[in-house]
Amino acid sequence: MSVLFTNLRIIMGKHKLATFLLIVFSALCLCVFGTLSEKADRAHASSEKYDETYGNKTYYRTVEAINDNAYHDYCTIDSKGLYEKLLSFEQLLLNSEAFTFIDISVQPVDINMPELAEQFFYGYENGRPAKPYRVDGRILQPIKSLQVSKSFFDEYDISVSDGEGFSEEDYFHKNKENIPVLLGSEYKEFFATGDKLYGDYLSERFTFIVKGFISEDAFFPDQSTMTSCGRYIVMPALFFETKGDAAKYSLLQKLCGIVSSSMGYEKTKELFEQYKLEANVANRELYISDPNAFADLTNFLDQYSAMTKEVASQFTVMVLIVMLFGVIATTLTLCSALRKNRQNFGIEMLCGATRVDIFKVALLFLLTVLLTADALSLLFAPDAMLSIQLAVLCMLLLSSIITAVYIKNMDMHDILGGNE
Amino acid sequence: MIQLSDIRITFGKENNRIDALKNVSLEVRQGEFLAVMGKSGCGKSTLLNVIGGVLKPTKGSYLFEGNDVSAFSGKQMAEFRNRNIGFIVQNFALVNEMTVRENVMLPLAYAKIKRSEAMKRAEEAMERLGIIQYEYKFPSKLSGGERQRVAIARSIAADTSVILADEPTGSLDEATGRSVIDIFKELNGSGKTIIMVTHDRELAEQGTRMLTMKDGEITGAQAL
Ligand SMILES: Nc1ncnc2c1ncn2[C@@H]1O[C@H](COP(=O)(O)OP(=O)(O)OP(=O)(O)O)[C@@H](O)[C@H]1O
Ligand SMILES: [Mg+2]
C-alpha cells in the first residue's frame, strides 16, 4: 500500500509540471465536453421534439376571401347573419376530432410606447418597420403580435417559461378592457409578469396585462418559415361576447388559420366542405389550400428537421473528439512518465513487484489526475455534472486500457545486465 | 537446490536471433558460493536472469527446490523472486527517490509483511551492514560501497536463501570491492547460497566453485 503511494509520489514529483498541465488540460477538456454535450443533448432533444411535434402531419392553410359586397354588408348591418354562421363554422373547425384547427393571426397591436426597441416593431424583419402614429393625442407604435387559439400551444409544443399560460376564460372577451398577453422571450429584459401595456387592437382601446413569457425555443409557422416567438406579443384569439366591429374583424381573421391533419388533402378538404355545409356557409368564399401551395413550409420543415439532426450529430462528434484528446494527452503523459521510471519499476520487479503492481501505480495516477480535473471542471461547468462524470469514467476506462497494454509490453528484463 | 537442464534462451526474432544461452545444465547446492566468469556477452547476466526468475527459458527446465519455475505464471515468478532471490548488481539497483530505509524495506512491502515486523527486520539488516546511520538518506548521497551494502541489506532483510550478484564490485575500488566479497563470504558462512558473476579472477577464487562460460555455454567448472 505505502509503496504504491511512494511510487505515485515519485512519478508526480519527477513530472510536476506535466502533471499540473495534464490536470488543467483534462479539466479544460471536461469543461468543453460538458458544455458541448449539453448542447448535443439539446440538439438531440429538439430534433426529437421536432419529430414528435411535426411527425407525419401535413399543414393546410385556410383562407377567407369573401367578396366585397358581402364583406361590406357583413361589416355594417350584416343582413344575412353571416357573423353567427361563421361563428358556428369556427366552432366546428375548432371542435373537429378528425383534425386540429389552429388560429394564428399576425394582426399587429398598436402600443402607446414608441420608445420600445425597434426589433419588436411590426415589419422589422422585412426591413420596413412600421412608423408610430398619432391618435387622440397618443402616440401608437404598431408592434408584432400573434393571436392564437389554445391548439397553438399544443400543436407547436410551446410552453410558458415565466408566469402562467392562458386560462380557458382568457379566450373569452367579456367586454373587458383587459386582454391577457404572453410576451416573447426577448421582451424579458424590458418587462415583467404583471406589467401593463396600453394601446389599440383592431382600433379599440385595451389594456394588455403581461401574464408571462413564452419559452425561448418556441417557433410558429409564418408564411413559409418557422419564426421564433421571441419578438412577438402573443394574445388569445378572442371570442367576443358582443357582436361589435372588433368581433367581426377578428372572426374573419381567425378563420385564416392552419389545419393540421394526417388524413391527406382530399379527405381533409371533404370534411372542411362538410363543416361549411353544416354551418350554412357552403356558398361563401372559404377555402382550404392545396398542400402544394404550402409546399414551401413543408420543405422548410424538412430542412429544419435535417438541420437539427445534423447539428446534433456534429455536436456528438465534437464531444467524442474532445474526449479523445483528453485520453490521448493523459495516456501520452502517463506512458512517458512510466517509461522514464522504467529503471525503478525494474528494480521493484526484482524485489517482487508484478506488472499488476505497476499498473496500480498508473491507475492511481490516472485517478488522481482525472478526479482533480473532475472537481475543477465541476466548479466551472456545474450544470454538466452528469455528463462530465460519464466522460471521466470513459476517459479513465480508455486511458487505463491503453496504459495496461503499454505496461504489459514494457521491457523490464535488462536491469540485471543493465549497463547504466 | 537449483537445477537447470538444457536451458536455452533466445533473444530477437527471425534474422537477428541470438542464443544467449545454449543447452546450459547446472546444479547448485544450498550453501555454495559459485563464481561465474567469462568474456563479455557470453551470457553470464542472462544465466543469472534465468536463475533469478526474471527470464523464462525458451527451452529446458528449471527446478528450484523441486518446483518447476519455468512453468510459473508472472505472478508466481514475482513471488518467487520476492521470497528466494536477492539481487546485487553493478549499478546497485536502488530506487534513488527512496530513502535507504525504504529501499531496504522494498521486498518486505511486496511480501505484504506487517509494517512493524518489516521495520524491525530492515533495522537489523542495516545494523548488520553498518549503514543504520544512513537510513533516512537517499542513495545518491552515499558512496559506491555504501550503496552496495544497502543492496545487500535489502536481500538480508528479505531473508532470501539465494543471492545473485552480477559484477557487484564492478563500480567499486579494490579495497571496497574486497570488503563486499568479505560480506558475501560471511553470508555464505551463515548458509546463504551465492552466485556471483565477476571478471576478477582473484575475487572469483574466494568462492567455493568457479564456472567458466563461453558463447552461451558452460565450458568449465572447478571446485576451489
Ligand atoms: N534483452 C535482450 N535482447 C536481445 N539480446 C540480448 C538481451 N539481453 C542480452 N542479449 C544478448 O545476449 C547475449 C548475452 O548477454 P549477457 O548480458 O548475458 O552477457 P554478459 O556475459 O552478461 O556480458 P557482460 O560481461 O558484458 O555483462 C549478448 O550477446 C547480448 O547482446
Ligand atoms: Mg552482464
What pLDDT is stored for residue A293 in this prediction? 54
Percentage of the residues of chain A whose pLDDT score is greater than 70:
89
Domain assignment of residue B64, yes or no:
no
Helix, strand or coil, per DSSP, at residue A176: coil
**Are B106 and A356 inside 8 Å of each other by CB?**
no
**pLDDT above 50 for A418:** no
pLDDT for residue A224: 66
Q: Is residue B9 part of a domain?
A: no
CA–centroid distance, B195 to ligand 1, in Å, is 18
Q: Answer yes or no: do B166 and A417 touch at CB < 8 A.
A: yes
pLDDT, tens digit, 9 for 90 and up, residues A25-76: 899 888 888 887 777 777 777 666 666 655 566 778 888 888 888 888 888 8
pLDDT of residue A306: 66
How far is ligand 2, taken at its centre, from the CA of residue B45, in Å?
A: 4
Q: Using CB atoms, which residue from A348, A355, A417 is nearest to B106?
A: A348
Domain containing B86 equals 29-56+79-223
Q: Which of A139-148, A228-237, A295-304, A333-342 has the lowest mean pLDDT?
A: A295-304
For residue A321 the three cell numbers come to: 473528439
Among A99, A124, A355, which Cα is nearest to A230's?
A124
Task: Decide if B159 is inside a domain.
Answer: yes
Average pLDDT over residues A273-287: 85
- CA nearest ligand 1 atom 30, residue: B41
Question: A8 contacts in B (CB within 8 Å)?
Answer: none
**Does the structure show a pLDDT above 90 at B80?**
yes
Average confidence (pLDDT) over A264-273: 85
> Which of A3, A10, A419 is the closest to B97 by Cβ?
A10
Confidence of residue A295 (pLDDT cuts 50, 70, 90): low
What pLDDT is stored for residue A51 in this prediction?
62
Shortest-distance Cα residue to atom 11 of ligand 1: B20
Q: Is the pLDDT of residue A400 over 70?
A: yes
Does residue A201 surpass a pLDDT of 70? yes
Residue A175's pLDDT band (cuts 50, 70, 90): low
pLDDT averaged over every residue in chain A? 84
Please report whether residue B215 resides in a domain.
yes
A419 confidence band (pLDDT: 50, 70, 90): very low
How many residues appear in chain A? Answer: 420
Task: Determine, yes or no, domain membership for B65.
Answer: no
| Contact yes or no for A173/A249 (Cβ under 8 A) | no
Cα distance from B110 to chain A (closest Cα, Å)?
Answer: 6
Q: What is the pLDDT of residue A265?
A: 80
**DSSP states of A20-69:** HHHHHHHHHHHHHHHHHHHHHHHHHHHHHHHHHHHTT-EEEEEEE---HH
- Mean residue pLDDT of chain B comes to 93
SS3 category, A335: helix
Q: What is the pLDDT of residue B3?
A: 94
Using a cut of 0.80, tell me whether the model's pTM lies above it.
no
Question: How high is the pLDDT of residue A292?
Answer: 56
Give per-residue pLDDT as tens, B34-44: 999 999 999 99
* pLDDT > 90? residue B210: yes
Residue B22 included in any domain: no
**Ordered DSSP codes for A224-288:** TEEEEGGG-EEEE-PEESS--HHHHHHHHHHTS-EEEESS-HHHHHHHHHHHHHHTT-TTS-EEE
Among the ranges given (A92-106, A276-290, A362-376, B14-28), the one the predictor scored with the smallest mean pLDDT: A276-290
Looking at residue A291, what is its pLDDT? 60
User: Would you list which residues of chain A are within 8 Å, Cβ to Cβ, of chain B?
Assistant: 2-3, 6, 10, 13-14, 344, 346-357, 413, 415-420
B224 versus B116: the higher-pLDDT residue is B116
Tens of pLDDT, residue by residue over A317-371, are: 888 888 888 899 999 999 999 988 888 999 999 999 999 999 999 999 999 999 9
Distance CA A25, CA A17 (A): 12
Reported confidence tier of residue B208, pLDDT bands at 50, 70, 90: very high
Q: Is the pLDDT of residue A3 over 70?
A: yes
> pLDDT class for A308, splitting at 50, 70, 90?
low
Task: Tell me the mean pLDDT in the region B158-164.
Answer: 95
Atom of ligand 1 nearest to the CA of B9: 12
Task: Tell me which of B117 and A82 has the higher pLDDT.
Answer: B117
Whose cell is 560471511? That residue is B186
The ranges assigned to domains in chain A are: 2-50+305-416, 100-261
Residues of A in contact with B154 (CB under 8 A): 351
- The band of B15, judged by pLDDT with boundaries at 50, 70 and 90, is confident
To the nearest whole angstrom, how far is the Cα of B89 from the nearest Cα of chain A? 6
- Is the C-alpha dihedral spanning A72, A73, A78, A80 positive or negative? negative
A2 neighbourhood in chain B, CB within 8 Å: 109, 115
Asked if the structure places residue B71 within a domain, the reply is no
> In whole angstroms, how far apart are CA A64 and each of A61, A72, A252, A273, A283?
10, 14, 7, 13, 12
Grid look-up 482533480 returns A372
Model confidence pLDDT, tens digit, residues A55-64: 566 778 888 8
More confident residue, B215 or A382: B215
Grid coordinates in use for B139?
542513495
- A-B Cβ pairs (cutoff 8 Å, strict): 81
Contact B78 A349 (CB under 8 A): yes
Cα B154 to chain centroid, rounded: 11
Q: Which ligand 1 atom is the nearest neighbour of the CA of A414?
A: 1
Please, are residues B210 and B37 in contact by the beta-carbon 8 Å criterion?
yes
- Burial of residue A16 (CB within 10 Å: 0-12, 13-18, 19+) is exposed
What single DSSP character describes residue A130?
Answer: P
A298 band by pLDDT with thresholds 50, 70 and 90: low
Kindly give the distance from the C-alpha atom of residue B52 to the centroid of ligand 1, in angstroms, as a whole number.
15
Q: Write down the pLDDT at residue A420.
A: 34
Contacts of B79 in chain A (CB under 8 A): 352
Number of structural domains found in chain B: 1
> A348 and B55: CB-CB below 8 Å?
no
By alpha-carbon position, which residue is closest to atom 14 of ligand 1? B43
Instruction: Provide the chain B residues 78-137 that lie in CB contact (below 8 A) with chain A.
Output: 78-79, 81-83, 85, 87, 89-91, 93-98, 102, 106-107, 109-111, 115
Confirm or reject contact between B224 and chain A (CB < 8 A).
no
Contact indicator for A219, A226 with CB cutoff of 8 Å: yes
When pLDDT is averaged across residues B10-23 and rounded to a whole number, the result is: 88
**Residue B89's domain is classified under what CATH number?**
3.40.50.300
Is B158's pLDDT higher than 50? yes
pLDDT confidence bin for A244, thresholds 50/70/90? confident
- Does B75 touch chain A if contact means CB atoms closer than 8 Å? yes
User: Does any domain span residue B194?
Assistant: yes
Chain B residues whose beta carbon lies within 8 Å of the beta carbon of residue A347 = 93-95, 106
How confident is residue B16, by pLDDT bands cut at 50, 70 and 90? confident
